[in-house]
Structure formats: structure tokens, C-alpha cells
């Protein structure tokens, strides 16, 4: 019940295309959902985050869509660029704690 399931494991997208990464959770106590981007040899960097009281949040080319009833959320990267090639992790935070439960990660490669 504490898991966050992330898919796909890897993704190849053409430059200019849309990259979509999905996450699902079971624990309804989760109430904060961040996405992190990690380049090789670097620590994860916060990309965008959402709370379950909104269904969508957009920051530049990055959008989180949130479906509370389905307990799913997804990251959309519009106009994907080769510089977006990285590993993306979704996470969920337990209400009342500071603990993050991370998904398994998605390796994105954007072809030039």
C-alpha cells in the first residue's frame, strides 16, 4: 500500500514530441506528489509538484495531470528536447510526515 508504481521503465521520443510518464498509488493518505529529474552523475532535481486538490498543474513545457479517483498522476513533457533526456522519478508524500515514497523511475531519451 506504500508503493508508487511508475511506468514505463524507459521511453524514447522524437524531438518535438510529447513524453508521458505515469504513476499510480494505493494509499489515499498521500497528499503531495512531486516529480524529480535526474541527470547521470547528479542528484535528483525538483521539476514540478501537485496537491490532490487540483487536477492539473503546468510549468512551462511540463504538466502534471492528477486523477484523484483513479489514484493516478502523470507527467507530460511537451515539445520534448534532447536536453530533457534524463531519468524521471515520481514520488508521493505521506500526510503528516515528511517521507517521500519514490517510484521506480523512467529513463527518457529524446532523439534529435
Partner 1 sequence: SAVISQKPSRDICQRGTSLTIQCQVDSQVTMMFWYRQQPGQSLTLIATANQGSEATYESGFVIDKFPISRPNLTFSTLTVSNMSPEDSSIYLCSVESDPWTQYFGPGTRLLVL
Given a contact cutoff of 8 angstroms between Cβ atoms, the answer to whether 47 and 37 are in contact is yes
Residue 45 interacting with partner 1 (CB under 8 A): yes
Q: Which stretch binds partner 1 (CB under 8 A): 12-20, 40-48, 56-64, 69-77?
A: 40-48
Residue 35 interacting with partner 1 (CB under 8 A): no
Q: How many C-beta atoms lie closer than 10 Å to residue 63's C-beta? A: 18
Per CB under 8 A, the list member of 22, 65, 71, 102 interacting with partner 1 is 102
Residue 68 interacting with partner 1 (CB under 8 A): no
Given a contact cutoff of 8 angstroms between Cβ atoms, the answer to whether 71 and 99 are in contact is no
The three three-digit cell numbers of residue 36, written as one number: 524529480
**Residue 36 C-beta: closest distance to partner 1, Å:** 8
**Residue 105 C-beta: closest distance to partner 1, Å:** 5
Residue 73 interacting with partner 1 (CB under 8 A): no
- Kindly calculate the radius of gyration of the chain based on its CA atoms and give it in whole angstroms: 13
CA 50/CA 67 separation, integer angstroms: 11
Amino acid at each position: 500500500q506504500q508503493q508508487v508504481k511508475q511506468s514505463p521503465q524507459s521511453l524514447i521520443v522524437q524531438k518535438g514530441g510529447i513524453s508521458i510518464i505515469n504513476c499510480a498509488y494505493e494509499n489515499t493518505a498521500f497528499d503531495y506528489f512531486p516529480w524529480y529529474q535526474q541527470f547521470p552523475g547528479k542528484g535528483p532535481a525538483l521539476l514540478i509538484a501537485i496537491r490532490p486538490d487540483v487536477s492539473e498543474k503546468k510549468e512551462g513545457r511540463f504538466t502534471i495531470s492528477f486523477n484523484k479517483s483513479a489514484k493516478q498522476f502523470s507527467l507530460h513533457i511537451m515539445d520534448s528536447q534532447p536536453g530533457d533526456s534524463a531519468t524521471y522519478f515520481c514520488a508521493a508524500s505521506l500526510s503528516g510526515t515528511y517521507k517521500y515514497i519514490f517510484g521506480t523511475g523512467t529513463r527518457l531519451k529524446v532523439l534529435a
